[in-house]
């Protein structure tokens, strides 16, 4: 109550109701050691209902994870270690970034997949833990939770335990305003074990029993349906939706503290209680963690390190010759085939589009109930969940997921892509069928604005390779990047026009003329279009340079001298890309692109219709060069 009051912002009601549960988890159930917050064999805890962050911060403070009482006083303030929602990498002890409801639940499914796979491949003496997640009504209303729960039940992820905070309250009011789901029945239909715990939310012994029952369950994940009373024991706000997001005023806090026999002073924290709590936390699992280290288990994880991956893969990358014309979606599959044995930390999967996207390891050994060592995940038609599950796999540690779908369906994954960037989760998102070149499927399946919208996400590396060689180098760039990467790949075959080196610094010259009069800049399939146009321009006496720019952000981050060497000042630039022209004005004088939705027609016809043709590029470049 004190921290939201002090911040004049926050959600104390859910935190109050769940305090006994989370106390029980941290002090009696979970395997964790504050002396080594990144212990690979720790149990994972995810607060999917991230608005209740003050609850987790309080437990991290009590357990000795580095937070002190002043950090709680600084709740939700600029630069504090206790931001409004939990952020991984910002506060020690936070496993994933939560807030957008349902995402944390799906992250937990990903972490459970990671645990199963690592336990199967490395042995129980190395990895053998559980994943606990708390989800509220909002989490389970969001569509991503339906997809993720269905996948978890199908896979029988028995190390996953979700506690459903069944307080029947959302911001607008009671849940019966909007929802009449039978949550227990729904999860049973997914194949989950369901424990309907009853009114035990204030009984730590009963909570411990239910959680241990869930841990002992075999063959399925467990949902504990826990009825709680939001805001309890406030005499003013118990069971009221106003307890959700409105900080109590001083009188409300005073009356509640009186019921709890607590001193009426802010941030009351008895030193002896804090010392005892931290001593208990250190003693409970510290010896087990030390024994794990002494057993040599960390050495078993070395092969699954996620650092230095590009250097390890580089000698094994396939090279593509000038006579080859693979689509870049085909090229990525060849790259992943080469990486399969070299990088055991890779998992791959797609949303019912494995062959179409190339997000496939070789051999195609399926991760399933029967084979946890399999590395190919079949996500089904569940793009929402796939993105968030991939984040969970990456943030678990020791694994790098590569997941694929059609580029237009990046829209279904956007919350997870954004959170991947915010979390610096090393996920490789493979998006194929990258333009109106998709063809007859028409505008519903033809991405137009998607490149522009992904490029504006801070920290997301967006690479659209020109050919197979750039695709191979793009995979190295993805493995090197501190965060997620979107590889945007073609459906159609593309000629080899480069050696791939443009990827390293975001752009590079792929064909040139002495003293060029115009520069054509392309990405993806439009680079070969620019090369073809340049030949006609040179024949007409217009010296032309062609630049491939697979990654705008990488190029723009280079020093001025390099940028000048690629795009010399005073030479007009025409950018050519089969997508929105948004964002190109900082690079080009003219842009040939598509600022409307697509059309149902064969791919080549659609591209021609929208001006992505040699004749149109030659026309625009000729006009621009004549103005010089």
Round the CA-based radius of gyration of the chain to a whole number and report it: 27
Q: What sign does the dihedral 200-222-11-82 (CA atoms) show?
A: positive
Phi, psi for 342 (deg, rounded to 5): -75, -35
Positive or negative torsion for Cα 171, 176, 177, 180: positive
CA atoms within 13 A on the CB side of 611: 18
Q: What is the mean pLDDT of residues 538-563?
A: 98
How far is residue 520's CA from residue 534's CA, in Å, rounded to a whole number?
A: 8
Q: What is the mean pLDDT of residues 101-120?
A: 98
Handedness of CA 280, 283, 284, 289 (dihedral sign): positive
- The percentage of the chain sitting over the pLDDT mark of 90, rounded to a whole number, equals 97
pLDDT exceeds cutoff 90 at 297: yes
Q: What is the layout of strands, in order, in the sheet containing 508-511? A: 508-511, 544-548, 518-522, 573-576, 590-592
26: left (phi over 0), alpha (psi -120 to 50) or beta: alpha
Distances (CA, A) of 315 to 336, 476, 620: 13, 11, 41
Q: Helix H segments across 405-449?
A: 410-423
Q: Could you read off the pLDDT of 418-476 as tens digits, one per residue?
A: 999 999 999 999 999 999 999 999 999 999 999 999 999 999 999 999 999 999 999 99
d(CA 157, CA 154): 8
CB–CB of 600/443 below 8 Å? yes
Cα 61 to the center of its chain, rounded Å? 27
- Convert the pLDDT of each residue in 250-293 to its tens digit: 999 999 999 999 999 999 999 999 999 999 999 999 999 999 99
Q: Does residue 36 have a pLDDT over 90?
A: yes
Q: Are 452 and 582 in contact (CB under 8 A)?
A: yes
**In this model, does residue 14 exceed pLDDT 80?**
yes
Residue at token pair 């009963």: 206
Determine the pLDDT at residue 303.
Answer: 86
Report the alpha-carbon distance of residue 186 to residue 184 in Å, rounded: 5
In this structure, the strands spanning 173-174 and 169-170 are: antiparallel
Check whether 628 has a pLDDT greater than 90: no
pLDDT of 229: 97
pLDDT recorded at residue 475: 98
pLDDT at 247: 85
Q: Encode burial over 59-74: b for 16+ CB neighbours within 10 A, e otherwise.
A: bbbbbbbebeeebbbb
The CA distance from 163 to 291, in Å, is: 30
The pLDDT of 294-323, averaged and rounded, is: 95
Q: For 188-202, how does the pLDDT look when each residue is reduced to its tens digit (9 = 90+)?
A: 999 999 999 999 999
| Bridge partner residues of 349 (DSSP) | 377, 403
pTM: 0.98
Facing residues of 46 across strands?
133
Q: pLDDT at residue 246 above 90?
A: no
Query: What is the distance between the alpha carbons of residues 627 and 622, in angstroms, rounded to a whole number?
Result: 9
Share of the chain above pLDDT 70, in %: 100
Q: pLDDT category, 594, cuts 50, 70, 90?
A: very high
What mean pLDDT, rounded, does the chain reach? 97
Buried b (16+ CB within 10 A) or exposed e, 195-216: bebeebbeeeebbbebbeebee
Strands (E) in 175-220, as ranges, are 193-196
What is the SS3 assignment for 376?
A: strand
> In whole angstroms, what is the distance from residue 345 CA to residue 365 CA?
14
pLDDT score for 506: 98
Give the SS3 label for residue 384.
helix
CB 417 within 8 A of CB 484: yes
Q: How long is the chain?
A: 628
> Of the candidates 452, 454, 478, 509, which has an alpha carbon nearest to the alpha carbon of residue 394?
478
Return the SS3 of 547.
strand
Give the active site residues. 383
Which among 490, 450, 383 has a CA at the least distance from the CA of 597? Answer: 450
Per-residue model confidence (pLDDT) at position 364:
82
Q: Of 592 and 625, which is predicted with more confidence?
A: 592
Q: Which of 271, 318, 367 is closest to 467 using CA atoms?
A: 318
Q: Which domains does the chain have, with CATH numbers?
A: 2-294 (3.40.50.970), 309-488 (3.40.50.970), 502-626 (3.40.50.920)
Q: 363 preceded by cis ω (within 30°)? A: yes
Kindly state the average pLDDT of the residues 482-503.
97
Q: CA 521, CA 219: separation in Å to the nearest integer?
A: 54
The predicted model gives 135-162 an average pLDDT of 98
The pLDDT of residue 245 is 80
Q: Where are the beta strands (DSSP E) in 389-524?
A: 400-406, 428-432, 461-463, 485-488, 508-511, 518-522
| Side-chain half-sphere CA neighbours of 121 within 13 A | 22
Give the integer Cα–Cα distance in Å for 123 and 121.
6
Q: Residue 244 has what pLDDT?
A: 87
CA distances from 301 to 19, 118, 128, 371 (A): 35, 9, 13, 20
Among candidates 142, 164, 150, which has minimal Cα distance to 214?
Answer: 164
In eight-state DSSP terms, residue 223 is: E
DSSP calls for 102-153: THHHHHHHHHHHHHHHHHHHH-TTT----EEEEEEHHHHHSHHHHHHHHHHH
């Amino acid at each position: 109550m004190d921290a939201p009051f002090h911040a004049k912002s926050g959600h104390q009601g859910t935190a109050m109701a769940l305090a006994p549960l989370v106390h029980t988890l941290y002090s009696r159930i979970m395997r964790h050691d504050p002396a080594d917050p990144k212990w690979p064999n720790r149990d994972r805890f995810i607060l999917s209902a991230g608005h209740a962050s003050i609850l987790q911060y309080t437990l991290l403070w009590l357990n000795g994870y580095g937070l002190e009482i002043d950090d709680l006083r600084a709740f939700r303030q600029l630069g504090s270690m206790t931001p409004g929602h939990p952020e991984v990498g910002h506060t020690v002890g936070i496993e994933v970034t939560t807030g957008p409801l349902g995402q944390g639940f799906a992250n937990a499914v990903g972490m459970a997949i990671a645990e199963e796979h690592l336990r199967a491949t490395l042995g129980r003496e190395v990895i053998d833990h559980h994943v606990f997640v708390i989800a509220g009504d909002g989490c389970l209303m969001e569509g991503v939770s339906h997809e993720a729960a269905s996948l978890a039940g199908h896979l029988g992820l028995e190390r996953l335990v979700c506690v459903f905070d069944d307080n029947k309250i959302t911001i607008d009011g009671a849940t019966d305003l909007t929802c009449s789901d039978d949550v227990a029945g729904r999860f049973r239909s997914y194949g989950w074990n369901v424990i309907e715990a009853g009114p035990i939310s204030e009984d730590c012994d009963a909570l411990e029993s239910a959680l241990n029952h869930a841990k002992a369950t075999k063959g399925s994940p467990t949902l504990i349906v826990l009825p709680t009373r939001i805001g309890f024991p406030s005499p003013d706000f118990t069971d009221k939706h106003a307890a959700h997001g409105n900080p109590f005023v001083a009188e409300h806090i005073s009356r509640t503290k009186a019921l709890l026999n607590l001193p009426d002073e802010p941030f009351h924290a008895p030193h002896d209680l804090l010392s005892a709590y931290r001593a208990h936390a250190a003693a409970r699992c510290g010896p087990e963690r030390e024994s794990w280290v002494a057993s040599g288990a960390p050495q078993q994880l070395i092969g699954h390190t996620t650092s230095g991956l590009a250097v390890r893969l580089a000698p094994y990358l396939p090279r593509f010759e000038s006579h080859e014309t693979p689509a870049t979606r085909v090229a990525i599959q060849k790259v992943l085939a080469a990486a399969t044995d070299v990088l055991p930390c890779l998992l791959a999967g797609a949303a019912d589009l494995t062959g179409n996207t190339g997000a496939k390891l070789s051999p195609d050994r399926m991760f399933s109930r029967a084979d946890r060592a399999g590395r190919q995940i079949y996500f089904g038609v569940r793009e929402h969940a796939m993105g968030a599950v991939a984040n969970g796999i990456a943030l678990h540690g020791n694994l790098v997921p590569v997941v694929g779908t059609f580029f237009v369906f990046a829209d279904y994954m956007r919350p997870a892509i954004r959170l991947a960037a915010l979390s610096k989760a090393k996920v490789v998102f493979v998006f194929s069928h990258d333009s109106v070149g998709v063809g007859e499927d028409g505008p519903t399946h033809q991405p137009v604005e998607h490149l522009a919208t992904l490029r504006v996400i801070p920290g997301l590396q967006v690479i659209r390779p020109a050919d197979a060689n750039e695709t191979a180098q793009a995979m190295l760039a993805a493995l090197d990047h501190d965060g997620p990467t979107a590889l945007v790949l073609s459906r159609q075959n593309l000629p080899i026009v480069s050696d791939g080196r443009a990827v390293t610094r975001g752009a590079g010259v792929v064909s040139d003329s002495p003293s060029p009069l115009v520069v054509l800049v392309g990405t993806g399939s439009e680079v070969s279009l620019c090369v073809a146009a340049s030949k006609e321009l040179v024949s007409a006496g217009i010296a032309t340079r062609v630049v491939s720019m697979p990654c705008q952000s990488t190029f723009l981050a280079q020093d001025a001298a390099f940028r000048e060497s690629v795009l010399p000042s005073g030479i007009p630039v025409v950018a050519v890309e089969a997508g929105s022209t948004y964002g190109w004005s900082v690079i080009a004088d003219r842009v040939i692109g598509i600022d409307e939705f697509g059309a149902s027609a064969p791919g080549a016809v659609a591209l021609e219709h929208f001006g992505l043709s040699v004749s149109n590029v030659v026309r625009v470049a000729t006009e621009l060069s004549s103005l010089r």
